[in-house]
Copies of this chain bind each other. A is one copy, B any other.
């Protein structure tokens, strides 16, 4: 999901002009010269989980991507948050869709800003209830990895790498915190 530049008004279809709106706003927006609609583009949330298995959460579920970008690379289940759901509900939905896993949701774990692409990524911890996975069409394969098995060079996204690193560090400490990070 990407957003091509807005050239036409979403309400009436007229070509927009980029200018300061008349309401005191200090940023240029796409303003419709016909109906006056002001259009805003804002950051998007990506929500996902760190699904773990084992008495001490020693294994993490990763999904091998069957879609671009990063086809064939490994990721945690995650995707764009939708209207009508909470961050946790969106994270659970993506875990169902991409891994077909049975799990219970635990707490919020990482909140990461990725300014370069206009996104905020939020990951929750989750506990797997079974090791049977039924990955959807976006996933080639879903499998469990111990820390030493994680294919660090084959991880699809920096936010996933950081979240996995936080998970194994907290696991060693024996306490899971909520981590806030800014990603280049």
| Cβ-defined contact, B115 with A84, below 8 A | yes
| Cβ-defined contact, B7 with A12, below 8 A | yes
Closest residue of chain B to A137 (Cβ to Cβ) is: B24
| Cβ-defined contact, B81 with A37, below 8 A | no
Q: A27-B82, A87-B111, A87-B113 are in contact. Are A45 and B8 (CB under 8 A)?
A: no
For A87, list chain B residues within 8 Å (CB): 111, 113, 120
CA gap between A178 and B37 in the complex, in Å: 37
From the candidates B1, B9, B111, name the one contacting A111 in the complex (CB within 8 A): B111
* A43: Cβ under 8 A from any B Cβ: yes
| Cβ-defined contact, A11 with B8, below 8 A | yes
A61 to chain B, nearest CB (A): 22
CA gap between A6 and B1 in the complex, in Å: 17
**Residue count of chain A within 8 Å CB distance of chain B:** 46
CA gap between A113 and B92 in the complex, in Å: 15
Closest residue of chain B to A181 (Cβ to Cβ) is: B86
| Cβ-defined contact, B115 with A85, below 8 A | yes
Q: A45-B42, A81-B43 are in contact. Are A37 and B4 (CB under 8 A)?
A: yes
For A137, list chain B residues within 8 Å (CB): 24
For A8, list chain B residues within 8 Å (CB): 8-13
A109 to chain B, nearest CB (A): 11
Q: A45-B43, A87-B111, A115-B86 are in contact. Are A13 and B9 (CB under 8 A)?
A: yes
| Chain A residues near B (Cβ < 8 Å) | 1, 3-15, 24, 27, 37-45, 80-88, 107-108, 111, 113, 115, 118, 120, 122, 137, 178, 180, 182
Q: Told that A10-B39, A86-B182 touch, could you supply 11 new A-B pairs with CB distance under 8 A?
A: A3-B40, A5-B11, A7-B12, A8-B10, A8-B11, A24-B137, A41-B83, A43-B81, A45-B120, A84-B118, A108-B180
